Amino acid sequence: MEIRDRLYIGGAWVVPVRTDLIEVLDSTTEEIIGSVPRGTAEDASRAVEAARGAFDDWARTAPSERAQYASRIAEALGSRMTEVSQLIAREVGTPVNVSMVIQVGLPIMTFGSMADLVGQITWEQSVGNSLVVREPVGVVGAITPWNYPLHQIAAKVAPALAAGCTVVLKPSGVAPLNAFVLAEVVHEIGLPPGVFNLVSGSGSDVGEAVASHREVDMVSFTGSTRTGRRVAELAAATAKRVTLELGGKSATVILPDADFDRAVTAGVAMCLLNSGQTCSALTRMLVPRDRLSEVEAIAARTAESYTPGNPFLDTTRIGPLVSAAQRDRVRAYILKGIEEGAKLVTGGVDAPEGLEKGFFVRPTVFSEVRRDMTIAQEEIFGPVLSILPYDTEDEAIEIANDSIYGLAGAVWAADERSAVEVARRIRTGQVDINGGGFNPLAPFGGFKQSGHGRELGKFGLEEYLETKSLQL
């Protein structure tokens, strides 16, 4: 049992204003595995004041020195990799072998990449009679989700620190324990007091206090589109900079000449990753109408090979969802798909056999889905794939773009040039071509109601910089 009863503010573990705690559950056993403070707006204000007090000195620290601190964080996290991957497997339900690579490996890579990335920034340049300089935005409020908790924290905290910003982090209340490990690491490596601060709590208390605080210069939020709109609304009162990484309803477009075995298998995998709890999950699959039955067979076979179970077992390929509320929400969407007339190919609302305890949902595939159906339009955030048939390439592109979201996508074709041409017409922030792998140094972010701003790599670092002109 991990009982955390202190917040990390100003370089010290401090007693919160209230003694209330948020309980954290094991998503497989439904047992309590720990608790964290239910912070308040007053706690958030103390953290902002600490960050403001530390900002001037940190901003004047050389970029290379700031990046060295990020490298030390990466090294220290690496020494605790097994511990943290197991912790997140319990909090979120990610199979531990996947958790090791994605939930912990990616954050380590993100912190470790800062040393190289600060060297790619043009910190000063002459433009006519002006000296143009890049400076840190200021105090950053980072509000992060539960699905990839440490990865999303790193995607904000690492570039903010490297840019010279100070940070107040509000992690998800559903999976917050890993954030406290990061705070221990930050303390251990000797990051100057106030540069990084951690306040756990609810979005309505801590999150809103951070987003609206007049001493916060920028808010970076990842989460639902509904909550993102609220964050932007609060931030607008003080005209602070806002970056938002929100929902998605991303499509895999399989063109007629593609290798269907590869494309469908990969598409199902990218839908089911992390039990479908991925904002960029490829949850729609667009296929030629005359190949629909073939696609259904491949998709069913693939989905059924994802053995659900305890994330610590080698035989498990898909773990539980993060909470009872999330499980019930996903099951309600599956019922909605059935009610609206979609063809249930495999899966359904019943718990997987032998897994009545834990927040499990069977990998589910629907076919003959119409573009106006709820399961084709709304983000489900669970292991549910919708297969939609199309008749022409133009129609496929039209369906792919028929969404309020625009975060990710994929195109499969025998001719890579054709795939790229289609990808250019899909209005999303990133598109995989014929199974192209995730690049943690490429910009990540969305179009439309998937948000604005970019994370990761040089582009993510630049989000935390202001541009100033000195006329000489």
By annotation, the residues acting in catalysis are 245, 279
| Encoded tokens for 247 | 């929902």
Residues 51, 138: Cα–Cα separation, whole Å:
9
Length of the chain equals 472
Q: What angle do CA 98, 180, 461 make, to 5 degrees?
A: 70
- Sign of dihedral through CA atoms 316, 280, 158, 37? negative
The answer to whether 315 touches 307, Cβ cutoff 8 Å, is: yes
Give dist(CA 151, CA 145) in Å, integer: 10
Q: What Rg, from alpha-carbon coordinates, does the chain have?
A: 22
Written as six digits, the tokens of 172 are 């998800």
DSSP 8-state code for residue 279? T
- Beta-bridged to residue 412, according to DSSP, are 254
Q: How many other CB atoms are there within 10 angstroms of residue 12's CB atom? A: 12
d(CA 373, CA 387): 12
If you search the block for the tokens 């609220």, which residue do you land on? 230
In angstroms, the first-to-last Cα distance of the chain is 61
Of 291, 349, 331, 53, the residue nearest 193 (C-alpha): 53
Q: Which residue has the tokens 């269907």?
A: 260
